[in-house]
C-alpha cells in the first residue's frame, strides 16, 4: 500500500522494531494525559489486525520517528474510519498538523473513507484547535465516558466527511 508523504513528513506502517518508540511516546508525561496506555503486546497485536492501520510518522529527510498514529475501521462497511490516536513526540514543529493532513489524505484518497472521525478529551484544547483548523467538525460531547485513575472525563466527537475533505484539498 502507498502511504502519503510531504517534504517534511512521511507515513509508514509500524513494524515490531518501532514498538519501543511507540510505547515510550504514549507514556511520555506530555502525552500520557491525552491517550490511553497500551502494552507492547497490545500494540503488537494491532500490527496484525486487518481492521487497523498502525503507522509511524517519520521526519524527512532523515527518516527519524517523531510520532505514530492508529486508524481503525479500515474494513468498515460504512466507510467510517476512526483516527484512534495520534501521538507526536516533537512538539511545536508542525508534525502534528502535517500528520493529520497526511492521515486525511490516506483515509480519503487511499482507503476510500466517506467519514474520518475521532474522539478526544474535552480538556485537550491544543488538539481540539488543531483538528478544527484542519477541517474537523465537532459533533457532540460524550459526557463522563472515560474513567481514568478514578476520575470521569468527557470526550468530544469530531469528524470530517469526504466532501469536506475534497473542498478543503482543492484550496
Buried b / exposed e over 7-37, threshold 16 CB at 10 Å, is eebbbeebeeebbebbbebbeeeebeebbee
Is the pTM value of this prediction over 0.85? yes
**Which residues have C-beta within 8 Å of that of residue 25, sequence separation ≥ 6?**
31, 67, 68, 87, 89
Look at residue 1 in the predicted model and tell me its pLDDT: 67
Beta-carbon-side half-sphere exposure of residue 44 (alpha carbons within 13 Å): 6
pLDDT means per 10 residues, the chain with 171 residues, are: 90 98 96 92 97 98 97 97 97 96 97 97 95 98 94 97 94 73
Look at residue 169 in the predicted model and tell me its pLDDT: 87
> CA-to-CA distance for 91 and 94, rounded, in angstroms?
7
Amino acid at each position: 500500500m502507498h502511504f502519503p508523504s510531504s517534504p517534511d513528513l512521511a507515513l509508514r506502517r509500524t513494524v515490531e522494531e518501532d514498538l519501543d518508540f511507540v510505547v515510550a511516546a504514549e507514556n511520555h508525561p506530555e502525552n500520557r494525559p491525552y491517550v490511553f496506555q497500551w502494552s507492547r503486546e497490545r500494540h503488537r497485536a494491532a500490527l496484525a489486525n486487518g481492521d487497523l492501520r498502525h503507522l509511524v510518522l517519520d521526519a524527512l529527510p532523515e527518516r527519524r520517528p517523531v510520532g505514530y498514529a492508529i486508524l481503525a475501521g479500515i474494513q468498515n462497511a460504512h466507510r467510517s474510519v476512526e483516527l484512534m490516536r495520534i501521538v507526536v513526540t516533537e512538539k511545536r514543529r508542525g508534525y502534528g498538523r502535517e500528520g493529520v493532513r497526511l492521515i486525511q489524505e490516506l483515509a480519503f484518497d487511499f482507503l476510500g473513507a466517506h467519514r474520518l472521525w475521532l474522539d478526544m478529551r474535552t480538556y485537550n484544547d491544543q488538539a481540539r484547535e488543531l483538528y478544527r483548523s484542519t477541517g474537523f467538525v465537532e459533533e457532540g460531547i460524550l459526557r463522563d465516558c472515560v474513567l481514568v485513575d478514578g476520575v470521569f472525563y468527557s470526550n468530544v466527537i469530531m469528524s470530517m466527511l469526504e466532501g469536506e475533505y475534497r473542498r478543503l484539498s482543492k484550496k
